[in-house]
């Protein structure tokens, strides 16, 4: 057998023996590739004696075509086999239940504000909102905090650059300006809560420059301090789920309420446990709406009375769930959010867990 015949027989056998597309490609490279056996013989054709060259060249080219055709035919067969095998292996069982989706969670701040809306909603409160960027007047002056009043220093205010002729603006330092907006915008009786963002230039483990408050405002006829106390006690006991949570009212000062009270709940300072332990924790500012504030929005203080209170949403959330640090609330760390977040499928039930 000539070397050309031998090469032909060997190459065709290798093509038939190739059991998958990769093996077939290896055969192609070994025979027809740049340094393949047949390519090599074609390159060496020049060294052949001139009288043999024509015949040998024709024979080599014929083998080349033959092998190329065989390769192509085998490729079609192997590809069809591989596709059939894949279709069998990847067959889908449509009767299987779907894999669980990766659900997100409700942020604890959102959850707490939903709880507040639910608890106060049951007491007849609507939710009111106001802008994050406030006029100096709404945030301070209308609330009986005039310019240069020392109470302004308590707020570490972010002042926005002024524009000539326009009222000066701040990032609201509390949700109380929405008291003003609500009283200007609707006739009493008024019962609203105001959950929302607030801003103060302060940053450490317990203070963030952006945080949340929830305000409450009631304006009706014949409203007294007793209503304020009952409302706050009911709310705190429902929110913390502790039916006999001790609540203490302590005289205090806010320019926009008179009298004013700070409100404490009972807890154990050492263990952090709420409800018992003999220690007190300040949690809310409150008071009867100041007659000057009522007058500032055009209400006659001899006819209308009311109360207001405000609290930090992060603070009550941290207390309820035993969270030690405020900063991760705003870090967007997926591990923290998974751990402390709430299932969207488990809606809050007002008064759940109240024990007495």
Instruction: Report the interface residues with ligand PHE, using CB under 6 A.
Output: 174, 176, 215, 254, 257, 285-287, 308-310
Cα–Cα distance for residue pair 215/257, rounded to 1 Å: 13
| Nearest to ligand PHE of 125, 254 (CB atom) | 254
Residue 342 CB contacts under 8 Å (≥ 6 apart), including other chains: 105, 106, 108, 111
Minimum distance from CB of 95 to ligand PHE (Å)? 58
Cα–Cα distance for residue pair 299/184, rounded to 1 Å: 9
| Nearest to ligand PHE of 199, 267 (CB atom) | 199
Minimum distance from CB of 310 to ligand PHE (Å)? 3
If phi > 0 it is left, if psi is from -120 to 50 it is alpha, else beta; for residue 175 that is alpha
| Nearest to ligand PHE of 70, 313 (CB atom) | 313
| Nearest to ligand PHE of 66, 210 (CB atom) | 210
Minimum distance from CB of 98 to ligand PHE (Å)? 48
Helices 3-17 and 21-32 cross at an angle (nearest 10°) of 170
| Nearest to ligand PHE of 67, 311 (CB atom) | 311
Cα–Cα distance for residue pair 319/317, rounded to 1 Å: 5
| Nearest to ligand PHE of 60, 194 (CB atom) | 194
| Nearest to ligand PHE of 108, 310 (CB atom) | 310
Q: What is the DSSP letter of 155?
A: G
Residue 210 CB contacts under 8 Å (≥ 6 apart), including other chains: 197, 198, 199, 330
Minimum distance from CB of 210 to ligand PHE (Å)? 14
Closest residue by Cα to residue 31 from 69, 67, 76:
67
What is the number of the residue whose Cβ is closest to ligand PHE? 310
Minimum distance from CB of 92 to ligand PHE (Å)? 58
DSSP one-letter string for 88-146: HHT---TTSPPPPP----B-HHHHHHHHHHHHHHHTTPEE----SEEEHHHHTGGGT--
Residue 271 CB contacts under 8 Å (≥ 6 apart), including other chains: 277
Cα–Cα distance for residue pair 170/129, rounded to 1 Å: 17
Minimum distance from CB of 188 to ligand PHE (Å)? 17
Minimum distance from CB of 168 to ligand PHE (Å)? 20
Minimum distance from CB of 179 to ligand PHE (Å)? 7
| Nearest to ligand PHE of 257, 317 (CB atom) | 257
Residues in the chain: 356
Q: Is the previous residue joined to 352 through a cis bond, with omega within 30 degrees of 0?
A: no
């Amino acid at each position: 057998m000539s070397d050309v015949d031998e090469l032909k027989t060997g190459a065709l056998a290798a093509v038939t023996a190739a059991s998958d597309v990769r093996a077939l490609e290896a055969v192609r490279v070994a025979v027809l590739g740049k340094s393949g056996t047949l390519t090599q013989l074609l390159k060496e054709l020049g060294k052949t004696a001139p009288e043999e060259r024509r015949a040998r060249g024709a024979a080599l080219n014929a083998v080349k075509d033959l092998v190329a055709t065989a390769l192509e035919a085998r490729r079609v067969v192997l590809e069809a086999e591989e596709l059939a095998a894949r279709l069998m292996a990847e067959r889908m069982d449509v009767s299987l239940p779907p894999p669980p989706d990766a659900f997100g969670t409700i942020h604890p701040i959102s959850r707490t504000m939903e709880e507040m809306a639910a608890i106060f909603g049951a007491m007849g409160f609507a939710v009111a909102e106001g802008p994050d960027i406030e006029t100096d007047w709404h945030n301070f002056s209308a609330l009986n905090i005039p310019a240069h009043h020392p109470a302004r220093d308590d707020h570490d205010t972010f002042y926005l650059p002024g524009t000539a002729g326009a009222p000066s603006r701040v990032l609201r330092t509390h949700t109380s300006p929405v008291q003003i907006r609500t009283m200007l915008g609707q006739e009493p009786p008024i019962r609203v809560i105001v959950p929302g963002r607030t801003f103060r230039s302060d940053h450490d483990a317990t203070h963030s420059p952006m945080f949340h408050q929830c305000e409450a405002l009631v304006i009706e006829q014949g409203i007294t301090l007793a209503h304020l106390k009952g409302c706050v006690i009911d709310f705190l006991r429902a929110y913390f789920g502790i039916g006999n949570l001790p609540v203490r009212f302590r005289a205090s000062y806010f320019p926009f309420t008179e009298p004013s009270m700070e409100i404490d709940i009972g807890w154990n300072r050492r263990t952090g446990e709420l409800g018992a332990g003999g220690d007190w924790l300040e949690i809310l500012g409150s008071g009867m709406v100041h007659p000057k504030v009522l007058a500032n929005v055009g209400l006659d203080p001899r006819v209308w009375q009311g109360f207001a209170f405000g609290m930090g949403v992060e603070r009550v959330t941290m207390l309820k769930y035993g969270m030690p640090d405020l900063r991760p609330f705003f870090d967007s760390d997926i591990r923290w959010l998974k751990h402390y977040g709430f299932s969207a499928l488990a809606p809050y039930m007002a008064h759940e867990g109240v024990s007495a």
